[in-house]
Amino acid sequence: MSATSPKDVRSQIAMVFHLDKCIGCHTCSIACKNIWTDRKGAEYMWWNNVETKPGTGYPGKWENQDIYRGGWEVTADGVRLKGAGKPKSLTNIFHSPHLPVIDDYYEPFTYKYLDLIESAAGDDQPTARPISMITGQPMDIKMGPNWDDDLSGSPDYARQDPNLERLSPGEREAMFQLERMAFFYLPRICNHCLNPACVASCPSGAIYKRGEDGIVLINQDVCRGWRMCVTACPYKKTYYNWSTGKSEKCILCYPRIESGQAPACMHSCVGRIRYLGVMLYDAAQIEAVASAPEAEVVQRQMDMLLDPFDPAVIAAAQANGVADSTIDAAQKSPVYKFVKQWHLALPLHPEFRTLPMLFYVPPLLPVMATVSQVDRGEQSRQINPVGKHWPDTWLYDTTTKELFGTIDDARFPLEYMARLFSAGDSAAIAGCLKKLMAVRLHRRRETVGDVAADTVATALADTGLTPQLAEAIYYLTSLAKFDDRFVIPAAHREQATELLEFTGDVRGATGFGFKAGSAKRGA
Amino acid sequence: MNALNVVLLVVFPYVAVIVCVFGVAYRYRRRGFSVSSLSSQFLERRQLFWGSVPFHVGILVVLFVHALAILFPGVVVTWARDPVRLLVLEVTEYVFGMSVLVGLGFLIFRRLANPRIRAVTSGMDIAVQLVLLTQVALGLWIALDFRWGYTWFAAVLAPYLWSLVQLSPETAAVFALPVTIKLHIIGAFTLVFLVPFTRLVHFVVAPLHYLVRPYQQVIWNWDRKAIRDPNTPWSRTRPVNN
Ligand code: SF4
Ligand code: SF4
């Protein structure tokens, strides 16, 4: 894919989350919390959070940039930050008008467990009252980080989903009919964007992208708490620590990555939905891609991701200082396969124009059955009166003959998915879903055998797949082992140290790891 | 009395400035993590607007005019010789001074009344606010009581401050000033003294360089091209953020 030869090849640790596999268990969130954010001022932060869609998410309605003014917008003179930037990051410094407050997330709480033990004996059972982790005072819990899990409180949450805006009232109602009701999970972490709005908005220059692997970090010693990044990140993945007065964000477990381990959320993922690998891209195109017309953003972003097998790309990468082991990892990258080879994964809200490097395989959520009304009278009468049976008259019928008919008629309107993953391009979503369906049909024939050979052949041909490709997708989706899912470039132990320290400094030091005060006798 | 004058108006200013300069340098270099605006907007948004904006805008203008009068006393006096101009100057200064007072009042009220903000309040925060409040109140009082400050300010205060800078304090005129003005001077140096120990330090790191830096920042931990070249000496591949 080097129609024009790449000018500035860099490597980026990129990710794919396969949404069909997410079971919404929040293990990832807990793993992250335990390691990084179990601290004062960070209790409310979930660098990794899992949302139910449709839903308003965390913080509430984060996708609605009329409220939060995150991300970039295209104006007559190019692309610029919506709610921050020059000069807004300075003029809004005394009071930032679009900054979320803690109640947009939730007030962190714990319980007074000691009361259970220490209350005086009485007539009533003692209770552990909830207390605020900010003030320490008793409080009423009004919100949690996943308050709308599994569509709970739908009228307040699911129906307020900003992505429903484009749907007709009829379509919306259809989504919320009880027998059609469906949801899926959307796990989110920082996207370690190629055009990060957080970096661009920081007046102190505390946020930066690491050249070697593209991880976006906030230097805690340089951050001054001007909190513009919180406004600017359209995904609300920078968080203000109200106790230390510094902003924090997902660090992609860089200490683990540097030593060749997968980030904690990915390592612990129960559904094994997460993939991580290297992508090579042409940094010279960032600005052009970020200012492309909305309908082209996704395609242009895909085009700036380079083919790691192309000799021209390899040569350009080497000339630019990308390590051979990194190029090797890019060739084995599961992300490259999902995103570039199979076109199965799309970025979340590409219209925010930060060029996110976390891609999602949209959930197929196929209509695997139809529901119809039948008379169960006879059946009910046959059942022992003590035996449990559903007294209703609905029949859940799983014999569907349709191939792709079910995709256009999916439980989620394609339009809705398109708002999330393709800046409104329903055809791109349909393309992904049809492929996923074709792979399923193919495997169904292999394992169960109740799908006709020509049906499978048509399905594969329609989506440009071959049986081999379908097998490869199936393998990486369902069977892939740890090392297939996480291809992290050789750790370069010799250089990994240098990411933190300059080893030349400790040469001739005492050998205890101290740099300061080492006796360099006779030096 | 004279000894007290000397301690407070000559010795203390030097101490305050030295402590401020070295304290800020130390804190910036060694305790970078503690240098923050410590914004509390995240916990409370609405009241902050009515406190923070009038306070900050006001104090920037007031400090700017003070700085002008100290740095260019002659120019200011000549310019303000016309009574209309003098009136405009005094009224502007007074209006912005009031804006500081009102904003500060809001901020103090908010800090004490809002339980969430109390949770992030340190003793030093209160101390700073009280000193500021005294200082602003004194300033406004002086502006009313000793009107047309731009004339005596230029004749008495600016030379005094300059003499301090030149390390040959000329104090006679200042020692003779009314006690309110003396307190205002002492208050000012108290604030200078407090900078390295309090949240006041945030104004030292006002991020004006943002205007001239490119939007995106990429940091390479080593010179990525040189490191692949076996002929580069190691001293030139030094990590840049180290
Ligand atoms: S997702 Fe937000 S915090 Fe992460 S790199 Fe992109 S803009 Fe920055
Ligand atoms: S651990 Fe994996 S399966 Fe569980 S919620 Fe997180 S992403 Fe989904």
Residue of B nearest to A104 (CA): B42
Split at pLDDT 50, 70, 90, the class of A392 is low
pLDDT digits (tens, 9 = 90+) for B146-181: 876 667 777 888 889 999 999 988 888 888 888 999
- Looking at residue B242, its pLDDT comes to 31
Whether the CB of B204 is below 8 Å from some CB of chain A: the reply is no
CB-CB neighbours of A384 under 10 Å: 7
Mean pLDDT of chain A: 87
Whether the CB of A71 is below 8 Å from some CB of chain B: the reply is no
**Are A387 and A302 members of one domain?**
no
Contacts of B225 in chain A (CB under 8 A): 319-321
The Cα–Cα gap between B203 and A364 comes to 53
Q: Is A25 in the pocket of ligand 2 (CB under 6 A)?
A: yes
Show the domain range for A391: 370-402
Q: Which residues of chain B have pLDDT under 50?
A: 238-242
**Are A389 and A426 members of one domain?**
no
For strands A207-210 and B218-219, give the pairing. Answer: parallel
pTM confidence score: 0.89
Provide the β-strand partners of residue A242: none
Mutate to test the interface with A, among B215, B220, B237 (most CBs of A within 10 A): B215
Domain boundary pick from A402, A426, A455: A402
Please tell me the distance between residue A163's alpha carbon and the centre of ligand 1 in angstroms.
20
Q: Is A235 in the pocket of ligand 1 (CB under 6 A)?
A: yes
CB A53 within 8 A of CB A183: yes
- Say which residue, A386 or A26, is predicted with more confidence: A26
The Cα–Cα gap between A146 and A167 comes to 25
**Are A377 and A288 members of one domain?**
no
- pLDDT surpasses 60 at A510: no
Identify the nearest ligand to the CA of A32 by its number.
Answer: 2
From B45, B120, B207, residue closest to A224, measured CB to CB: B207
Whether the CB of B43 is below 8 Å from some CB of chain A: the reply is yes
Question: For the ranges A46-50, A228-232, B126-130, B166-170, which has the lowest average pLDDT?
Answer: B166-170
Inter-chain CB proximity B52 and A225 less than 8 Å = no
Q: What is the share, in percent, of chain A residues with pLDDT greater than 70?
A: 84
pLDDT digits (tens, 9 = 90+) for A456-504: 999 999 999 999 999 999 999 999 999 999 999 865 555 555 555 565 5
**Are A339 and A440 members of one domain?**
yes
For strands B218-219 and A49-53, give the pairing. Answer: unpaired
Identify the nearest ligand to the CA of A290 by its number.
Answer: 1
Inter-chain CB proximity A196 and B205 less than 8 Å = no
Provide the β-strand partners of residue A14: A277
Instruction: Give the position, in ligand 2's atom list, of the atom nearest the Cα of A17.
Output: 7
Q: Would A377 be classed as within a structural domain? A: yes
The Cα–Cα gap between A226 and A246 comes to 8
For A396, the 3-state DSSP assignment is: strand
Residue nearest to atom 4 of ligand 2 (CA): A25
- pLDDT surpasses 70 at A220: yes
Instruction: Give the position, in ligand 2's atom list, of the atom nearest the Cα of A185.
Output: 8
Mean pLDDT for A217-222 is: 94
Beta strands in A228-385 (DSSP E): 238-241, 246-249, 274-282, 346-347, 358-361, 370-373
Provide the β-strand partners of residue A17: A274, A360
H runs (alpha helix) in A214-290: 228-232, 254-258, 264-268, 286-290
- Looking at residue A2, its pLDDT comes to 42
**Are A306 and A361 members of one domain?**
yes
Query: DSSP letters of B3-52?
Result: HHHHIIIIIHHHHHHHHHHHHHHHHHHH-GGG------TTT--HHHHHHH
For A281, the 3-state DSSP assignment is: strand
**Are A325 and A423 members of one domain?**
yes
From A95, A203, A242, residue closest to B53, measured CB to CB: A95
- Looking at residue A521, its pLDDT comes to 43
Q: Would A419 be classed as within a structural domain? A: yes
CB A189 within 8 A of CB A165: no
Q: Is A27 in the pocket of ligand 2 (CB under 6 A)?
A: yes
From A94, A101, A321, residue closest to B224, measured CB to CB: A321
- Looking at residue A501, its pLDDT comes to 59
Q: At what angle do helices A414-421 and A426-447 cross, to 10 degrees?
A: 110
Please tell me the distance between residue A199's alpha carbon and the centre of ligand 1 in angstroms.
8
| Domains contained in chain A, number | 2
- Taking alpha carbons only, the member of A234, A198, A284 closest to residue B216 is A198
Q: Would A471 be classed as within a structural domain? A: yes
H runs (alpha helix) in A371-448: 377-382, 405-408, 414-421, 426-447
Q: Would A224 be classed as within a structural domain? A: no
Q: Would A348 be classed as within a structural domain? A: yes
- Looking at residue B7, its pLDDT comes to 92
**Are A348 and A389 members of one domain?**
no
Please tell me the distance between residue A30's alpha carbon and the centre of ligand 2 in angstroms.
10
Q: Would A418 be classed as within a structural domain? A: yes
Give the CATH number of the domain where residue A352 resides: 3.30.70.20
- Say which residue, A440 or B228, is predicted with more confidence: A440
Please tell me the distance between residue B242's alpha carbon and the centre of ligand 1 in angstroms.
24
Domain boundary pick from A454, A470, A485: A485
CB A166 within 8 A of CB A422: no
Mean pLDDT for A138-157 is: 88
CB B45 within 8 A of CB A101: yes
Q: At what angle do helices B123-145 and B179-194 cross, to 10 degrees?
A: 150
The Cα–Cα gap between A84 and A68 comes to 11
Residue nearest to atom 6 of ligand 2 (CA): A28
**Are A287 and A335 members of one domain?**
yes
The token pair at B235 is 């001293």
- pLDDT surpasses 50 at A385: yes
Q: Is A263 in the pocket of ligand 2 (CB under 6 A)?
A: no
Split at pLDDT 50, 70, 90, the class of A391 is low
- Looking at residue A182, its pLDDT comes to 83
Instruction: Give the position, in ligand 2's atom list, of the atom nearest the Cα of A271.
Output: 3
**Are A377 and A417 members of one domain?**
no
Whether the CB of A78 is below 8 Å from some CB of chain B: the reply is no
Bond from prior residue into A308 cis (ω within 30 degrees of 0): no
Position of tokens 């022992």?
A384
Largest pairwise CA distance in chain A: 100
pLDDT digits (tens, 9 = 90+) for A238-271: 999 999 999 999 999 998 998 889 999 999 999 9
- Looking at residue A399, its pLDDT comes to 53
**Are A462 and A386 members of one domain?**
no
pLDDT digits (tens, 9 = 90+) for A116-137: 999 888 898 899 999 999 999 9
Q: Is A271 in the pocket of ligand 2 (CB under 6 A)?
A: yes
Q: Would A324 be classed as within a structural domain? A: yes
Residue of A nearest to B239 (CA): A502
**Are A291 and A380 members of one domain?**
no
Q: Would A356 be classed as within a structural domain? A: yes
Most confident of A148-152, A386-390, A423-427: A423-427
Please tell me the distance between residue A235's alpha carbon and the centre of ligand 1 in angstroms.
7
Where do the domains of chain B lie, and which CATH numbers do they carry? 2-214 (1.20.950.20)
**Are A379 and A359 members of one domain?**
no
Contacts of B228 in chain A (CB under 8 A): 318, 321, 323
From A101, A204, A322, residue closest to B42, measured CB to CB: A101
Contacts of A246 in chain B (CB under 8 A): 33, 36
